């Protein structure tokens, strides 16, 4: 039996982390009013596409609006089974529920062909539009993938959110930390590229942890300290808090080179997958307990199981860092690079294979140190220097990548 998602202050605690209600959201006033109007009064279109950049508050906003207006919601995201069969069966059970919505989050995964096809969604939406008492559907997707939903947009209401501006973000930030100086905030804002969720989490996290931070390690020192079997747990947790965003990435890039068995590496891969799930579902609360839990799942479990397999598990060399350093994941970064390149290049369709072949062309030119040919090739693909660097960043198989970049920069 399906269970209706109802108001639960404890389980929905993360929704109220920075906003007591939807009226406290910064920016997007017009878009919030449109969402509220559609939820309360409806329209002829019984499906809505909510888009926006990552971390702008799409999911939390729509859930808050549902709770505030007494609308029951059923929520499906990437943590749920979402094959065509699963989605259709789920919809069949709830399709006749009144004053309810089905929220399909993280549609960017579905549109990439991993689950139910868009034509199936299109048919369901058309059926819904003809049945005024049927459950309504909300699709949530990142803006960079919105062009994939052109056909669905024609039969859905569409609301696109954006990041608040710097001034709006600063006003919100000083509500969290009254001592936050404008200069310090500007650095956080720029480092986080204007993403509200990361900005607010960073500010709150600094408040909660500054008093406990008496370690001044850089990320490599922190990583080495966590590998030390003689360091105590409390100290490791505190060191991790200094570099909680980078340590798990360093570990992900380097555990494959540890002197451990293949079975142990498989075990570590499972821990890292669990850590990613935890980070997405709970880490945004950004309190001390969650940081400690994330440290254990993402890092300490892997280190301990490696040491159990081999006390000399860790190579005596500086760890790699940067090969899969991304905002969310390596795949996300590759998609971002491809999107940027596609927007810039004179290539009708760009996929990973085409990009690789184009890069091989540039490799040969760079190796021959032919500056004139390099200029012609860059003109051919409408390339800037940054585009070629992005092309090299798509593939990081060996140390020659750094050499290619150095040679390229010396040529231009």
pLDDT reported for residue 192: 81
Q: Quote the pLDDT of residue 1.
A: 41
The CATH number given to whatever domain includes residue 62 is: 3.40.50.300
Residue 350 and residue 400 in one domain: yes
In a domain, 167, yes or no: no
Extract long-range pairs of 17-24: CB within 8 Å, 24+ residues apart. 17/200, 17/284, 17/285, 17/286, 18/172, 18/176, 18/200, 19/60, 19/64, 21/64, 21/68, 22/61, 22/64, 22/65, 22/68
- Domain of residue 396 covers 330-411
Neighbour count for residue 350 (Cβ, 10 Å): 17
Residue 275: inside a domain, yes or no? yes
Give per-residue pLDDT as tens, 186-200: 888 887 888 888 888
Whether residues 141 and 52 fall in one domain: yes
Residue 321 lies in a domain: no
Q: Are residues 354 and 299 in the same domain?
A: no
Q: Show the tokens assigned to 84.
A: 């065509």
Together in a domain, 340 and 282? no
Say whether 5 sits in a helix, a strand or coil: strand
Least confident of 114-128, 228-242, 306-320: 114-128
Query: Closest by alpha carbon to 256, among 322, 309, 296, 314?
Result: 314
DSSP H helical ranges for 98-162 = 107-109, 118-130, 150-153
pLDDT of 206: 66
How many domains does the structure of the chain reveal?
3
Same domain, 302 and 373: no
Residue 153 counted as domain residue = yes
- What pLDDT was estimated at residue 325? 46
Pick from 36-40, 293-297, 369-373, 400-404: least confident? 400-404
Give the CATH number for residue 300.
1.20.272
Q: Please count the residues of the chain.
A: 412
């Amino acid at each position: 039996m399906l269970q209706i998602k109802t108001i639960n202050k404890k389980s929905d605690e993360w929704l109220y982390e920075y906003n007591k209600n939807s009226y406290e959201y910064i920016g997007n006033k017009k878009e919030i009013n449109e969402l509220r109007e559609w939820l309360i009064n409806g329209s002829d279109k019984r499906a809505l596409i909510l888009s926006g950049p990552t971390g702008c508050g799409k999911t939390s906003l729509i859930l808050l609006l549902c709770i505030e207006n007494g609308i029951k919601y059923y929520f499906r995201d990437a943590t749920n089974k979402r094959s065509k069969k699963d989605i259709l069966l789920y919809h069949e059970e709830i399709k006749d529920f009144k004053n309810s919505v089905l929220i399909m989050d993280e549609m960017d995964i579905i549109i990439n062909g991993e689950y139910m096809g868009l034509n199936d969604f299109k048919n369901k939406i058309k059926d819904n539009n003809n049945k005024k008492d049927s459950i309504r559907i909300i699709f949530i997707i990142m803006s960079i993938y919105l062009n994939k939903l052109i056909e669905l947009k024609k039969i859905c209401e569409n609301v696109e959110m954006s990041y608040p501006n710097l001034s709006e973000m600063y006003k919100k930030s000083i509500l969290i930390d009254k001592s936050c100086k404008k200069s310090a905030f500007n650095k956080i804002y720029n480092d986080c590229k204007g993403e509200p969720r990361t900005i607010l989490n960073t500010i709150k996290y600094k408040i909660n942890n500054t008093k406990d931070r008496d370690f001044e390690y850089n990320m490599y020192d922190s990583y080495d300290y966590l590998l030390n079997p003689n360091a105590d747990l409390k100290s490791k947790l505190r060191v991790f808090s200094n570099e909680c965003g980078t340590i798990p990435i360093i570990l992900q890039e380097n555990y494959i080179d540890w002197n451990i068995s293949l079975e142990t590496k498989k075990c570590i891969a499972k821990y890292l997958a669990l850590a990613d799930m935890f980070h997405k579902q709970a880490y945004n609360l950004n309190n001390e307990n969650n940081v400690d839990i994330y440290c254990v799942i993402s890092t300490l479990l892997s280190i301990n199981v490696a040491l159990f397999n081999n006390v000399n598990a860790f190579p005596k060399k500086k760890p790699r860092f940067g090969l899969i350093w991304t905002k969310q994941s390596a795949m996300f970064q590759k998609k971002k690079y491809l999107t940027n390149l596609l927007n810039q290049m004179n290539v009708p369709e760009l996929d990973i294979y085409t990009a690789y072949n184009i890069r091989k062309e540039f490799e040969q030119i760079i190796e021959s140190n032919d500056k004139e040919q390099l200029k012609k090739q860059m003109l051919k693909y409408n390339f800037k220097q940054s585009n070629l660097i992005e092309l090299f960043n798509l593939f990081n198989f060996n140390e020659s990548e750094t050499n290619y970049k150095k040679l390229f920069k010396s040529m231009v």
